[in-house]
Structure 1
Amino acid sequence: MNAALRNGLASVLLAATLGLMPISAPAQQDDTVSGDKTTDMVVDAVVMRPLGLAATVVGTVLTVVALPFTIPSGSVETSARHLILRPADYTFKRPLGDFSDSGEDGR
């Protein structure tokens, strides 16, 4: 058997063996995304909250821009709920580091 064929067969067997092995993840703490509550809080405070604030501001602008279309159709409340209130709830009503709660009333 030549070296190229032997290396190719070994690679296929190794890939098949690794593909059939069960993958075990490290144990995570309950209710965490990263496995560490402190890391979740830092990511939430530094990344997610500012993004949520930006989404609330952009949603407010989009709601105002869409008013000529939503007033005649009677969908101002629905538009405002999805574009302003949901991002605002996510940003201001959630406990720090808790990514599962989208607000008290689940808007």
Structure 2
Amino acid sequence: MKLLRPVVLALLLSVGLPALASDGSGDPRYTIQNPPAFAMIGDLLIARPLLLAATVIGAGAFVVSLPFTALGGGVGDAGKALVVDPAKATFVRCLGCIGEGFERQE
């Protein structure tokens, strides 16, 4: 019984601590970016309004081009390029981050 307790404690510490030390999420396939304050301010005042405008313009271009892309079979690709990607960059990405905030590493 005296030997079991230290072995269990050592196993728990060796398995649990690397997962906690990686990035806080417990999953080493994800990284968390920690941008500086000036990047957050620039992103808030400059990049987000421009990306919002790109999302709106892209949605309009998608609607206009929809008959042609439907004939060509590229509706999904056009929707992703014109609407989804700018919207993800506008609303999903963390403030000041370069990527989407939580980027999956494979």
Partner of 2:76: 77
Structure possessing the higher radius of gyration over alpha carbons: 1
Q: Which residue does the alignment assign to 1:65? A: 64
Aligned residues: 72
Question: How far off is 1:101 after superposition?
Answer: 2.6
2:46 corresponds in structure 1 to 47
With normalisation by structure 2, the TM-score equals: 0.61
RMSD across aligned positions (CA)? 2.2
Question: What is the SS of the residue equivalent to 2:37?
Answer: helix
**Inter-partner Cα distance in structure 2 for 1:102 and 1:86:** 14
Q: Runs ≥4 in structure 1, deviation > 2 angstroms?
A: 100-105
CA deviation map 1:33-73 (0-9, x unaligned) = xxxx1100000000000011000000000001101210111
Q: Partners in 2 of 1:48 and 1:91 — Cα distance?
A: 8
Contact 2:69–2:78 (Cα < 8 Å) also in 1: yes
TM-score, with normalisation over the residues of structure 1?
0.61
Q: Relative contact order, CA 8 A, sep 6+: which one is greater?
A: 2
Deviations 1:68-105 (A, max 9, x none): 21011111111000000000000000110101337768
Give percent identity, aligned residues only: 39
Larger proportion of strand: 2
Structure 2 portions without partners, runs of 5+: 1-32
Q: Does structure 2 conserve the Cα–Cα contact (< 8 Å) formed by 1:93 and 1:103?
A: no
Deviations, residues 12-47 of structure 1 (Å, cap 9, x unaligned) = xxxxxxxxxxxxxxxxxx865xxxx11000000000
